[in-house]
Amino acid sequence: MRSKPPSLPLPEGVAYVAYKGPSLQQNPAQARSLTTNAPPQITPIAAVTHDRKALVVDNDQFFTGQIVGDGPLAKDTDDRGRKVLEMLSPDQATERIRKNEQSYLVGRGRGVVRYDVVQLPSNDPIEDDHAEKIIEVPNSVAATDDGAPSSDWMFWGVFDGHSGWTTSAKLRQALISFAARELNTTYKAAVSSTKSPFPDAASIDAALKSAFTKLDNEICIESVNKVFANPRKPFGAELLAPALSGSCALLSFYDTRSNLFRVACTGDSRAVLGRRNPKSGKWFATPLSEDQTGSNPNEEARMRAEHPGEDKVIWRGRVLGNLEPTRAFGDAAYKWTKDIQEQIQSKFFGRTPNPLLRTPPYVTAEPVVTTTKIEPRNGDFVVLATDGLWEMLTNEEVVGLVGQWVEAQQNGTSPAKSSGTAWLTSWFSGAKPQSQLPVEKGGNTDKTGKPKSDIAGKEDLPIRQQQWQIPQDNNMHSRFVVEDKNAATHLIRNALGGKDKDMVCALLTLPSPYSRRYRDDLTVEVIFFGEGASDGAVRVNEEASSQSNNDKLKPKL
């Protein structure tokens, strides 16, 4: 229960926190009365002039308190040393969620009608990054059907950095260009071939793998050679930074001629396809990538085979006991020899080599490539996201939430209904309101990519749902909301708590580094396929893009 209000007006500009009740994580043992200054004498006179809430952070728990008074909090810690912050209001939380959202309407008439992007930092600066590009390719480079003069290559990528932002920034700048060059060589060779004007699947996969490994070689090997040739510290610091930090990479490549959608995955970001079942109106969730971490038995087996006799090549679910992803760009501490690392450390900077280091390289940037035939007429969509999203939501929840968002646009039950979603009518027929997310069972997978049982135990839930003790209620109306015009933003809002506005506001109030205890950086892209306009243009969808970024956004064609 709330503590009683003070007998005298608070001094001007002073407020205090008073609360007694359960934490947001439903842990009553952590709940105590909280004050940021000594409260005055108690009488029945009210002092709360409007609804203000505080967030109190206590190790791995946080909970809310009521702010009494109009002024700023007198202190930023309470009498037990816990961090106290004024919690964002729902409107302020929405502003923060939408700050980095982008949306583009694709009028190419070649199978893609729209894509939405959003980022939400937890680290400061954010370590995630992303890139998108549409390249018109003449038939002299890539053969087309029926004499069409050109086709499009479309790329979307999300990059989950760790130990810094420099590697993911390098991928944003260079990975799509590396991929396009390798594909250009492969497709052009097929055009002049006497067998077939189209490259075979293995050649395209090899081109993507080559792009990844060539870029990583530039990051980790060529950089060292240049630094040793010119050992100036400022030069070395800039050149080696992308090698010393690391990043996962998830790059998708859509060939509009074939409707084939390839996903090249290095690390533990994930791509999931949503495909509508025309009979039930629900969506199937199909993962298009497999998380590559030390806790994946397939990856562990691969690494043990590559490093026989090294019992701790995977230790405590991590590479050499430290690094979680088994494939990554950069992370040169797991690729350089001990001799190179010691030279770098003595001449410049860097960490002491891992004592378990014996037969590097342990980590590779070579991706696993999957291929899926897209059905634009059926309204397929694909979600690409860094692991921060998948720590909060299952595959089925993500696909079901996008399906919920799509239905809300079509049925006019969302504020997002507008000309920006007019393309929906070309393939989606209105459905009756449902009490559950419109998704078929069977889309959740284990660490090896195999389907999980429909009956999930607590250990099967995303790690953040376990941490936050989210009640598992099948009724979507009790957990989820549709409030955003951007589908990627819709996913992040519901990942953070959805209908539980206190949870959403609390998670967004937490500053770095406190926020990293509860959530990771988040980068989400949602690609919608369909038969839309064919005027050749790619336009910024202003109503689903941050107003603060609209002047900076440019169609990536």
Same domain, yes or no, for 104 and 82?
A: no
Same domain, yes or no, for 37 and 122?
A: no
**Average pLDDT of every residue of the chain:** 86
Same domain, yes or no, for 537 and 421?
A: yes
- Residues 7-16 have a mean pLDDT of 45
The first and second tokens of residue 466, run together, are 């376990």
Torsional sign, CA 550, 490, 396, 379: negative
Residue 429: pLDDT band (50, 70, 90) is very low
Residue 330 lies in a domain: no
540: containing domain? 93-292+366-544
| Cα dihedral 278/264/248/541 (nearest 10) | -50
Domain boundary among 87, 102, 135: 87
- Residues 40-50 have a mean pLDDT of 38
| Residue 76 or residue 217, greater confidence | 217
In sequence order, what DSSP letters do the residues of 316-331 get, joined into one string? TTEETTTBSBSB-EE-
Residue 352 lies in a domain: no
- Residues 223-235 have a mean pLDDT of 87
Q: Does the structure show a pLDDT above 80 at 415?
A: no
pTM for the structure as a whole: 0.88
Query: What is the pLDDT at residue 1?
Result: 33
Percent of the chain with pLDDT over 90: 66
Same domain, yes or no, for 73 and 172?
A: no
Residue 43: pLDDT band (50, 70, 90) is very low
Domain boundary among 46, 61, 87: 87
- Residues 323-349 have a mean pLDDT of 94
Which range among 6-10, 414-418, 425-429 has the greatest average pLDDT?
414-418
Residue 305 lies in a domain: no
Of 42-46, 69-73, 265-269, 550-554, which gets the smallest average pLDDT?
Answer: 42-46
Same domain, yes or no, for 116 and 214?
A: yes
Instruction: In whole angstroms, give the CA distance from residue 234 to residue 416.
Output: 49
Query: What is the pLDDT at residue 461?
Result: 83
| Residue 473 or residue 82, greater confidence | 82
Of 140-149, 162-171, 378-387, which gets the smallest average pLDDT?
Answer: 140-149
Write the pLDDT tens digit of every residue in 23-38.
444 333 333 333 333 3
Same domain, yes or no, for 129 and 245?
A: yes
Residue 549 lies in a domain: no
Same domain, yes or no, for 403 and 507?
A: yes
CB 489, CB 405: distance < 8 Å: no
Residue 281 lies in a domain: yes
Q: Does the structure show a pLDDT above 80 at 481?
A: yes
Q: Does the structure show a pLDDT above 50 at 486?
A: yes
Residue 433: pLDDT band (50, 70, 90) is low
Q: Does the structure show a pLDDT above 70 at 432?
A: no
CATH of residue 103: 3.60.40.10
Query: What is the pLDDT at residue 11?
Result: 43
Of 179-183, 428-432, 441-445, which gets the smallest average pLDDT?
Answer: 428-432
- Residues 151-166 have a mean pLDDT of 98
Query: What is the pLDDT at residue 5?
Result: 34
**DSSP type of residue 479:** H
Match 């206190």 to its residue by tokens: 502
Residue 182 lies in a domain: yes
| Residue 321 or residue 74, greater confidence | 321
| Residue 459 or residue 95, greater confidence | 95
Query: What is the pLDDT at residue 230?
Result: 86
Query: What is the pLDDT at residue 384?
Result: 99
| Residue 348 or residue 200, greater confidence | 200
| Residue 425 or residue 501, greater confidence | 501
Pairing of strands 102-107, 128-138: unpaired
Residue 260: pLDDT band (50, 70, 90) is very high
Same domain, yes or no, for 35 and 124?
A: no
Q: Does the structure show a pLDDT above 70 at 320?
A: yes
Write the pLDDT tens digit of every residue in 440-459.
988 787 766 667 655 455 56
Same domain, yes or no, for 102 and 153?
A: yes
| Cα dihedral 94/99/101/102 (nearest 10) | 140
Residue 224 lies in a domain: yes
- Residues 224-250 have a mean pLDDT of 91
Side-chain-side CA neighbours of 366 within 13 Å: the count stands at 9
CB 401, CB 498: distance < 8 Å: no
| Residue 458 or residue 192, greater confidence | 192
| Residue 232 or residue 284, greater confidence | 284
Beta-ladder partners of 265: 250, 368
- Residues 306-321 have a mean pLDDT of 98
| Residue 86 or residue 80, greater confidence | 86
Q: Does the structure show a pLDDT above 90 at 75?
A: no
**DSSP type of residue 452:** P
- Residues 86-114 have a mean pLDDT of 97
Distances in whole angstroms, Cα of residue 473 to Cα of each of 19, 329, 435: 28, 39, 11
Same domain, yes or no, for 43 and 156?
A: no
Q: Does the structure show a pLDDT above 90 at 112?
A: yes
The first and second tokens of residue 421, run together, are 């979603």
Same domain, yes or no, for 178 and 71?
A: no
Helix 166-191 to helix 201-217 angle, to the nearest 10 degrees? Answer: 140
Query: What is the pLDDT at residue 36?
Result: 35
Query: What is the pLDDT at residue 211?
Result: 99
Write the pLDDT tens digit of every residue in 525-536.
999 999 888 899
Residue 324 lies in a domain: no
| Cα dihedral 309/315/319/325 (nearest 10) | 130
- The number of domains in the chain is 2
Domain boundary among 40, 59, 87: 87
Write the pLDDT tens digit of every residue in 362-410.
999 999 999 999 999 999 999 999 999 999 999 999 999 999 999 998 8
Same domain, yes or no, for 219 and 77?
A: no
Q: Does the structure show a pLDDT above 80 at 13?
A: no
